[in-house]
C-alpha cells in the first residue's frame, strides 16, 4: 500500500522516531498525550491543536476505533495530516489484545503497538509481548508498549458511579514491572498508579510514591492510561517522575459527541454533515489544546 510505504519512508527519512521523542520528553520532563480517535473529524481537531502549538502528536486507536476506521484508513489519514502540516504525527494501536490484531496494524503501517495482556496469565503475556517486539522491529516500529497490571474502569466512557476504591495490590508492583520489561523486551510500560479508564463521579489522588518506586527501578518509558478526569497537577507530578505518555479518550469523545448533540438540538432541520460537524471539530481541538498545555508538548517538534 502506497501510504504504508510512505509511512515507512517517513520513519526512515524523518529521523526522529516515537522512541526518540519519548527520550526527549523524559529528559526534558514533558510528555506526549496519546489522543484516541475514531473518526476523521476527531483527528482533524487534534491535528489543528498540534499545528497551532507546534506539538508532536501521538494518535491512538483502540480496537473499536480501528475497526470503525480500518487500520489502513487510520494510517492513511495520519499520513495525510503529516504531509499537510509537516508535524511529526505518530499512530499507536492501543490495547491490542492479540498478536494477530497487532500484526494487522503493523502491516498497515502503524508507528507503535500496545499489547494489553493484562487479562492473561503473566507468562503468556510475556511470551506474546516478546513475539510482538520481534514483529515490531521487522516493521521498523520503534515502540512496543506492554501492560500486565490492569487499569480499572474497563473502557473509555462516562461511568455513572463513584470511582472504585483502590488498595495496595491494585497498584503496579515495582519489581514485577522491571521483571516484565526485562523478560518481554517492551520499550514502554503501562502502569497502574491510580488513573482509571473513563470518567467517574469521584477522583482519587495518584499514588506518586509508588510511581517513584517504579521509576527508580530504571524503567525508561512509563505510560499512564485513563487520562480523562485526572487533575492536571496530578499528571504534571507524574511527568516529573518519568511518565512520558498519557492516554486520553473519553475527554475527546465527550467533546465531539456532546457538541454534536447540541448542534443537532439547535439545528433540527440541518442535514448536511459539513454544517453539523465543524463545531465538534472545534470542541475536540479545544480539549486537545488543554491537554497539550497539561503535558507540556507545545513547541517540542
Residues of this chain that interact with Zn ion (CB under 5 A) are: 225, 247
Residue 85 or 118: the one with the smaller Cβ distance to Zn ion is 118
Stretch that binds ligand G3H, among 8-16, 134-142, 170-178, 225-233 (CB under 6 A): 225-233
Q: Which of 92, 250, 259, 280 binds ligand G3H (CB under 6 A)?
A: 250
48 binds, options ligand G3H, Zn ion, none, Cβ within 5 to 8 A by partner type: none
Smallest gap from residue 141 Cβ to ligand G3H (A): 18
Long-range contacts of residues 67-73, Cβ cutoff 8 Å, at least 24 apart: 68/38, 68/39, 69/38, 69/39, 71/104, 71/105, 71/108, 71/110, 72/1, 72/3, 72/4, 72/108, 72/109
Between residues 82 and 194, which has the closer beta carbon with respect to Zn ion? 194
Residue 143-162 contact track with ligand G3H, rule CB under 6 A, x = bound: -------------x------
Nearest-CA neighbor of 202 among 243, 247, 164, 169? 164
Burial group, residue 268, by CB count within 10 angstroms (0-12, 13-18, 19+): exposed
Q: Beta strands of 138-280 (E only): which ranges?
A: 143-147, 188-191, 221-224, 243-248
Least gap, CB of 186 to ligand G3H (angstroms): 16
Interface residue with ligand G3H among 186, 248, 284, 287 (CB under 6 A) is 248
Residue 198 binds ligand G3H, judged by CB under 6 A: yes
CA distance 74 to 109: 9
**CB of 47 or CB of 248, closer to ligand G3H:** 248
Nearer to Zn ion (CB atom), residue 64 or residue 185: 64
Other Cβ atoms less than 10 A from the Cβ of 145: the count is 27
228 binds, among Zn ion, ligand G3H, none (CB under 5 to 8 A by kind): ligand G3H
Alpha carbon 38 to its chain's center: 13
**Which 8-state DSSP code applies to residue 199?**
B
Our CB check for ligand G3H shows the closer of 50 and 227 to be 227
Handedness of CA 266, 156, 208, 299 (dihedral sign): negative
| Binding status of residue 242 toward ligand G3H by CB under 6 A | no
- Sign of the Cα pseudo-torsion (175, 151, 92, 128, in order): positive
Q: Which residue has the cell 499545528?
A: 51
Q: By C-beta, is 139 or 159 nearer to ligand G3H?
A: 159
Q: Please say which residue, 92 or 259, places its beta carbon nearer to Zn ion.
A: 92
Q: How far is the CB of 153 from ligand G3H (least distance, A)?
A: 7
Residues that bind ligand G3H (CB under 6 A): 36, 94-95, 156, 197-198, 225-228, 247-251
Amino acid at each position: 500500500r502506497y501510504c504504508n510505504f510512505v509511512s515507512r519512508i517517513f520513519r526512515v527519512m524523518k529521523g526522529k522516531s516515537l522512541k526518540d521523542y519519548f527520550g526527549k520528553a523524559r529528559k526534558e520532563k514533558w510528555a506526549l498525550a496519546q489522543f484516541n480517535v475514531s473518526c476523521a473529524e476527531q483527528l482533524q481537531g487534534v491535528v489543528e491543536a498540534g499545528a497551532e502549538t507546534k506539538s508532536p502528536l501521538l494518535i491512538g486507536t483502540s480496537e473499536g476505533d480501528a475497526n470503525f476506521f480500518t487500520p489502513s484508513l487510520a494510517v492513511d489519514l495520519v499520513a495525510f495530516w503529516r504531509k499537510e502540516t509537516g508535524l511529526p504525527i505518530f499512530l499507536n494501536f492501543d490495547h491490542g489484545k492479540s498478536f494477530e490484531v497487532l500484526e494487522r496494524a503493523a502491516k498497515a503501517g502503524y508507528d507503535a503497538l500496545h499489547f494489553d495482556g493484562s487479562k492473561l496469565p503473566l507468562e503468556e503475556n510475556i511470551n506474546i509481548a516478546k513475539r510482538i517486539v520481534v514483529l515490531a522491529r521487522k516493521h521498523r516500529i520503534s515502540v512496543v508498549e506492554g501492560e500486565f497490571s490492569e487499569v480499572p474502569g474497563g473502557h473509555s466512557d462516562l461511568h455513572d458511579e463513584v470511582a472504585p476504591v483502590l488498595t495496595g495490590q491494585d497498584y503496579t508492583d515495582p519489581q514485577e514491572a522491571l521483571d516484565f520489561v526485562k523478560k518481554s523486551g517492551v520499550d514502554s510500560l503501562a502502569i497502574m498508579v491510580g488513573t482509571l479508564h473513563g470518567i467517574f463521579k469521584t477522583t482519587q489522588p495518584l499514588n506518586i510514591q509508588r510511581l517513584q518506586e517504579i521509576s527508580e527501578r530504571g524503567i525508561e518509558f512509563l505510560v499512564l492510561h485513563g487520562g480523562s478526569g485526572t487533575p492536571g497537577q496530578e499528571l504534571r507530578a507524574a511527568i516529573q517522575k518519568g511518565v512520558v505518555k498519557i492516554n486520553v479518550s473519553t475527554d475527546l469523545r465527550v467533546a465531539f459527541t456532546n457538541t454534536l448533540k447540541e448542534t443537532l438540538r439547535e439545528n433540527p432541520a440541518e442535514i448536511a454533515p459539513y454544517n453539523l460537524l465543524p463545531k465538534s471539530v472545534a470542541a475536540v481541538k479545544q480539549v486537545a489544546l488543554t491537554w497539550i498545555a497539561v503535558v507540556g508538548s507545545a513547541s517540542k517538534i
